Amino acid sequence: MLSEALTKHLKKLAGITPNQIKKINFYILIGPPAIGKSTFIKSMPENTLVINRDEVVQKVASSYSLSYDDLFILPSADSKIGEIVPGFESFGKVKEAPEQIRHWAPVVFENIDKINLEVYHQMSNLFNKAKSGKFPNVVVDMTNMTLESRSSILDRMGDKVHFRYIAVEFDISDPETKNIIKKAAEIRRREDLKRGIKKTIPDSAFDRMFLQYVPPSFREGFDKIIKINTIENLKRFIELDSEKF
């Protein structure tokens, strides 16, 4: 349980006053992987619904005896529809890709396609849970670094009467941020491997996120924007890891 002081502090950050407390607080976390979003969630009350696509992907992939990284593997463009690719038997047969990605990936593995569809349905279920009103706090724990990704979430929710939309922006303005996060992500990748989890985020993905980043604004429909700087914490995290060797 959170202490009364910490609970009051979280409410103060969100700008919650006594007459507003009945509104559901819907937090959208904004920042690249490894910047400290999971640590922020640990400070939330126990009755918080967390919507995290990566966790859903990992869970569904595991049910097919596949890893998170496996979901990004595609058949070669010249693969024949209906064939099993040697070495990728657990991925299922090659099939035509869904129309929305066919322009860059003409074919996919059928099990990967099934996983993505199941992930979509489970994510829909989580957002429906959020709309049910049973959770006083909801956190969308994804990168959400583009205007499009955030507007998709806000449009999906739609309800401004029962929900208070709070953007939690993790500060990436420091020129060192990208390199620090890449180092922290590599440490976490190694830790995940020890637990049997294969989740690799390539440097190019970080570069793309930083390039496409659009800071949140009230024009998007947020009721509150909180800015958090985690760089010093990440530096300490990296230093502590380096002391192990």
Residue 196, pLDDT score = 85
Distance CA 98, CA 115 (A): 13
Is residue 5 very low, low, confident or very high in pLDDT (cuts 50, 70, 90)? low
Is residue 2 very low, low, confident or very high in pLDDT (cuts 50, 70, 90)? very low
Distance CA 232, CA 62 (A): 35
Is residue 160 very low, low, confident or very high in pLDDT (cuts 50, 70, 90)? confident
Mean pLDDT confidence for 223-235: 94
Q: Is the per-residue pLDDT at 16 higher than 90?
A: no
Which of 126, 88, 121, 120 has its CA nearest to residue 107? Answer: 88
119-138 pLDDT per residue, tens: 999 999 999 999 999 999 99
Supply 195's token pair.
Answer: 């637990």
Among 15-24, 114-123, 197-206, where is mean pLDDT lowest? 15-24
Q: Is the per-residue pLDDT at 113 higher than 90?
A: yes
Handedness of CA 48, 181, 124, 66 (dihedral sign): negative
Residue 183, pLDDT score = 94
More confident residue, 104 or 143: 143
Phi then psi for 108, rounded to 5 degrees? -140, 170
Mean pLDDT confidence for 55-78: 90
Residue 10, pLDDT score = 56
Sheet holding 163-170, edge to edge: 48-51, 137-140, 24-30, 163-170, 224-228
Is residue 4 very low, low, confident or very high in pLDDT (cuts 50, 70, 90)? low
- CA dist 100 to 74, 94, 97, 105, 124, Å? 15, 17, 8, 9, 19
69-88 pLDDT per residue, tens: 998 899 988 899 999 999 99
| Helices (H), ranges, the chain | 4-14, 37-42, 53-63, 110-131, 147-157, 177-194, 203-212, 231-242
Q: Is the per-residue pLDDT at 52 higher than 70?
A: yes
Q: Is the per-residue pLDDT at 243 higher than 80?
A: no
Residue 131, pLDDT score = 94
Residue 244, pLDDT score = 72
Among 14-23, 48-57, 83-92, where is mean pLDDT lowest? 14-23
Taking the complete model, does pTM exceed 0.85, yes or no? no
Give start-end residues of each CATH 3.40.50.300 domain in the chain: 1-47+136-245
Class of domain 1-47+136-245: alpha beta
Q: Is the per-residue pLDDT at 8 higher than 70?
A: no
Mean per-residue pLDDT of the chain: 89
Phi then psi for 200, rounded to 5 degrees? -110, 130
Is residue 245 very low, low, confident or very high in pLDDT (cuts 50, 70, 90)? low
